[in-house]
Structure 1
């Protein structure tokens, strides 16, 4: 049956699925070709238990329709679906609002909910993807610490609070993000997910989708009234925008929390999911099901959803969970549609699956499939080369491993084919998301505590700095796990998806303890933003501008030559991963200005230690040196 539904006679191309509101009427449309009967139940409020039933009429393409005359502004609704003699109630998969826990969908009049000046608020200036500096954070983690100084702990509104500080006057929150200099905040899932009760303080990362076009209610100050989550979500986006920060949503179009009881499966049984030849659900996500993005009406739903968030909520980017489960054609359509709305939108994802998928290998959006597109992928090759494995005791370049110089060079050029030896999976460097840690697995601090227990705490702190200095000076798109700049810890928990605030919170009191590292990372970000030659997005430009230089074992050095206005003519960057200092021979006898040493980064020249060098320079253990002229 699901193959029959892919026929042209069942493909609906209209842009009006869901509840389309106006003051005069509301029109409901739902695609459900195989069910026997559908009615709309309209509820006066979120706590109305009775509702009023209105039968829908089935039309062409398998679309059921109902037009209700009158003003149904911000009322609630569900569908009552009769199939094989069984009647079940479900929210609309296209609903744009909901009551607590998605029990009822909502007829939304967005104009009555928007915060002041929403339509015309100032958004950050457009930048190329390689000029982005992405900062990944979970809504609750950002503010839940007792030291955060934020009033709206665990809520969207925490991102709107200014002048927040720890008890000893160290800057936190929104002001911290502005001061650090990041360009994009990547929010772990903020669509409605089913793994927490929105009426409690339960914790989850949220990779458990229920209603894709509705903001999660547990992060709102009131989860029952569906207007509150919408207004507060937009207030957060507006505050970040007006402070120069773009907003990226972490999206999970690869599986749903449940399958048989999901709105998708109630409306069109088994169509939205991949199944094997016997009709069994396949499990490429590792979560019990996988969404069939390659089917026309599934692809339409995903693309419609992305367009909705980009248009209605002014979202600036999308990170795709387990992106290899999305077929290549769907991802290219998402790229086209999203970029047509906002050419500044950034799109990236994980180029792997969560297990064997029934989607054929040549259709999966894997590493390499993104070549030549504006879709970027996580560079786990660089991640592993930098630190070793993510949860164990193995070593990488920065923490004592040997022989990783070639892999580090591949990361530095953004994964392009620089030459026959230095080459990887990208066509242009912007396709590579360069990172060393993310929400999954051990935090970087915890990883080094596990893999390097015999090093001193300060040596492990230097490993943290060196890893981020490589990420922030490589070609491609730098990505930082929120809190890494202040040596965030999760107390050794490598899979903290439901571990609660005590484990997951950003402990803002650590900022004062590791203030020197914070200032160092802040300096690297400022340096990157000041030098166009660090943000190239063309393979030919990289080959022309970047030259690797001879350096001792377990170190990597290279020179960048720039013709951009405002750039230094030349930069030399040296990364020394040895536990001892090295002597680096500069390839000319000119005087070079030192703009980064092991203590500080300053685009105008360091204040601590030697200010210039000539012919050679001593590079301290586990550190980077950056020179300019």
Structure 2
């Protein structure tokens, strides 16, 4: 019987599941072919524990329906479903709003909730994927530091505050993001997740624990009880970021649910939405106790419907898929196709791995290399490991003492394309690689270097941090920075801080002053990257044409970018020196070169001191030098 529900007879393709509100009536539709009866319960407000019950009628394809006359704007509702003689109540998986902890879904009238100017607010101009600079951030981490100068600590509204100042009068918050120059902020889960209790202030979790996928998380709002508040404040955050030139990427976790048995999916259609083995046990490809079955028509539909909803209703500019290899390739193709119709420039990327052995056939898993030509990017752990070594151990990479890694680094620099017989990776085009050295998972960069290089001086480790980030920001592909690494963020050695609380996870804004040089350096590199088309090529053939490696001593890599584009520097020479001593590089073209980046600063007018080089250049230890030749 397990496959029966996957037959054409039970596949519903309408776009009206959930509660569709109008002033005159609301239509409820819910898919549950196995239900013996279905009722919708209407609650006046979040304090109403009795509700009014209405029977629903079963239509085609296993969809139950009820039309409720009257204006039920922003009231709450749940379903009561009877299966095998047992009645259970659940929120609607398609609910677009909810009260505290997702206890009841909400009949949403978005027009009555939208912040002023929402519909016509200005969205940043379209850019190519390779022109993006992604900055990963958790909502609480961003503002919760007592010295952040931000009023709405730990809330969506923190991202709307202008003119905030931290220790030493340093710029923090929204103005900081703008000053740094990033193009996209990637927010850790902001849909409704089940691992914090919204009735308690200050609980902490990363949020990879989905409950209601189409509802904003309530703990980041100023009032989790009233379902309108989280919607409005979430949109105020998106609007403020957009109006300051920053696009918003949402971290989505469709690969598992927080629990099984009592999840809305399982209450309505037991076990359908999950992968199970031949004895009916949940399989665990996520490492979280279950994995959803994207290959089943109604789960695939749910994923596609959900991202379409966020991209249209909330004007989300990109999606990052958690454990994307657990989603079958056809589902991700459909996601890409539908999202491009809404926004041709939308960013789609994800993790090309699973969290454990999956029952999805390996041929269908979206692993590294399978994304070729799909318009989807994947995290490049090859480049990450080549740069810094392993994630949590004492292993070393190119910047912190590894040897013989030059070719691995070159693969990352060319965006993992098929560049030559020795230098080739897993992409068809550079738009398919997310280049990064750290993210929320595992040790952050500062802690990794403390662990792998305990005998290095703190100054050397800061240089390693800078060198690693400079490689991410100068390579072809899509650069991704873990928020705070540009000011040497530490989590005090905690490699899995998903529920370690604010003290471990928060951005310590005093670091901005403490590590000002590194901050200014990274800011300078971001500005340089954004100003040079040749640093953001989106075609493999162009990389082969305009990027040439030149001879360099061991543990260093040097290459020449020759730009055909107006507004670019004609020739850019980039040198990464991972040695603990100075090296000398013979310049590839005769005449004068200006040094625009050294170990201390980035300045397109030429750096302090030695502005020019002829014939050769001396490159300081553990540093990236960039030289330009304009004529």
TM-score higher than 0.5: yes
Q: Aligned equivalents of 1:65 and 1:2: distance in 2?
A: 25
Q: CA RMSD in A?
A: 0.6
2:471 matched to 1:461?
Answer: no
Match of 2:437 in 1: 436
- Cα distance, 1:593 vs structure 2: 1.0
Conserved in 1, the CA contact under 8 Å of 2:143 and 2:154?
yes
2:228 matched to 1:199?
Answer: no
Conserved in 2, the CA contact under 8 Å of 1:10 and 1:62?
yes
2:148 counterpart SS class: coil
Q: Deviations over 1:400-448 (max 9, x none)?
A: 1111101000000000000011001000011000000000000100000
Q: Aligned equivalents of 1:64 and 1:604: distance in 2?
A: 67
Aligned residue-pair number: 628
What runs of 5+ residues in structure 1 fail to find an aligned partner? none
Match of 2:297 in 1: 296
2:225 matched to 1:236?
Answer: no
Conserved in 2, the CA contact under 8 Å of 1:585 and 1:615?
yes
Q: Aligned equivalents of 1:177 and 1:603: distance in 2?
A: 21
Q: Deviations over 1:433-490 (max 9, x none)?
A: 0000000000100000111111110100000000011000000000000000000000
Match of 2:311 in 1: 310
Q: Aligned equivalents of 1:430 and 1:537: distance in 2?
A: 6
Match of 2:596 in 1: 595
2:599 counterpart SS class: coil
Conserved in 1, the CA contact under 8 Å of 2:223 and 2:229?
yes
Conserved in 2, the CA contact under 8 Å of 1:403 and 1:554?
yes
Q: Aligned equivalents of 2:182 and 2:375: distance in 1?
A: 21
2:167 counterpart SS class: coil
Match of 1:171 in 2: 171
2:259 matched to 1:258?
Answer: yes
Match of 2:17 in 1: 17
**1:102-113 paired onto structure 2 within 5 Å:** 102-113=102-113
Match of 2:499 in 1: 498
Q: Aligned equivalents of 1:376 and 1:596: distance in 2?
A: 29
Q: Aligned equivalents of 1:36 and 1:536: distance in 2?
A: 57
Match of 2:379 in 1: 378
Conserved in 2, the CA contact under 8 Å of 1:526 and 1:603?
no
Q: Aligned equivalents of 1:198 and 1:436: distance in 2?
A: 33
Match of 2:548 in 1: 547
**1:211-360 paired onto structure 2 within 5 Å:** 211-360=212-361
Match of 2:68 in 1: 68
Conserved in 2, the CA contact under 8 Å of 1:143 and 1:158?
yes
1:398 counterpart SS class: helix
Match of 1:50 in 2: 50
Q: Aligned equivalents of 2:439 and 2:20: distance in 1?
A: 39
What runs of 5+ residues in structure 2 fail to find an aligned partner? none
**1:595-614 paired onto structure 2 within 5 Å:** 595-606=596-607, 608-614=608-614
1:425 counterpart SS class: coil
2:108 matched to 1:94?
Answer: no
Conserved in 1, the CA contact under 8 Å of 2:311 and 2:339?
yes
Match of 1:451 in 2: 452
2:519 matched to 1:518?
Answer: yes
Q: Aligned equivalents of 2:147 and 2:420: distance in 1?
A: 50
Match of 1:34 in 2: 34
Q: Aligned equivalents of 2:588 and 2:135: distance in 1?
A: 36
1:71 counterpart SS class: coil
1:40 counterpart SS class: strand
Conserved in 2, the CA contact under 8 Å of 1:561 and 1:571?
yes
2:214 counterpart SS class: strand
2:92 counterpart SS class: coil
2:399 counterpart SS class: coil
- Cα distance, 1:571 vs structure 2: 0.5
Match of 1:181 in 2: 181
Q: Aligned equivalents of 1:605 and 1:618: distance in 2?
A: 15
Q: Aligned equivalents of 1:583 and 1:127: distance in 2?
A: 37
- Cα distance, 1:603 vs structure 2: 2.3
Q: Aligned equivalents of 1:391 and 1:609: distance in 2?
A: 39
Q: Aligned equivalents of 1:517 and 1:230: distance in 2?
A: 37
- Cα distance, 1:207 vs structure 2: 0.1
Q: Aligned equivalents of 1:234 and 1:63: distance in 2?
A: 31
- Cα distance, 1:9 vs structure 2: 1.1
Conserved in 1, the CA contact under 8 Å of 2:167 and 2:509?
no
Which stretches of structure 1, 4 residues or longer, exceed 2 Å deviation after superposition?
A: none
Q: Aligned equivalents of 1:473 and 1:267: distance in 2?
A: 50
Conserved in 1, the CA contact under 8 Å of 2:371 and 2:377?
yes
1:88 counterpart SS class: strand
2:123 matched to 1:123?
Answer: yes
2:72 counterpart SS class: coil
Q: Aligned equivalents of 1:616 and 1:81: distance in 2?
A: 76
- Cα distance, 1:618 vs structure 2: 0.4
> Structure 1 residues 119 and 2, CA, compared in 2 at 3 Å: closer, same or farther?
farther
- Cα distance, 1:146 vs structure 2: 1.1
Q: Aligned equivalents of 1:286 and 1:163: distance in 2?
A: 43
2:566 matched to 1:568?
Answer: no
Q: Aligned equivalents of 2:554 and 2:592: distance in 1?
A: 25
2:149 matched to 1:135?
Answer: no
Conserved in 2, the CA contact under 8 Å of 1:2 and 1:270?
no
Q: Aligned equivalents of 2:231 and 2:175: distance in 1?
A: 24
Q: Aligned equivalents of 2:167 and 2:620: distance in 1?
A: 35
More displaced stretch, 597-606 vs 100-109: 597-606
Q: Aligned equivalents of 2:130 and 2:199: distance in 1?
A: 40
Match of 2:370 in 1: 369
Q: Deviations over 1:6-61 (max 9, x none)?
A: 11111111000000000000000001001111100000001101000000000000
- Cα distance, 1:604 vs structure 2: 2.7
- Cα distance, 1:167 vs structure 2: 3.3
**1:482-493 paired onto structure 2 within 5 Å:** 482-493=483-494
Q: Aligned equivalents of 2:203 and 2:480: distance in 1?
A: 28
Q: Aligned equivalents of 1:17 and 1:372: distance in 2?
A: 32
Q: Aligned equivalents of 2:3 and 2:139: distance in 1?
A: 40
Match of 2:393 in 1: 392
Q: Deviations over 1:468-524 (max 9, x none)?
A: 110000000000000000000001100000000000000000100000100000000
2:40 counterpart SS class: strand
2:95 counterpart SS class: coil
Q: Aligned equivalents of 2:186 and 2:25: distance in 1?
A: 37
- Cα distance, 1:344 vs structure 2: 1.5
Q: Aligned equivalents of 1:588 and 1:474: distance in 2?
A: 22
Q: Aligned equivalents of 2:215 and 2:208: distance in 1?
A: 14
Q: Aligned equivalents of 1:397 and 1:368: distance in 2?
A: 24
Conserved in 2, the CA contact under 8 Å of 1:576 and 1:620?
yes
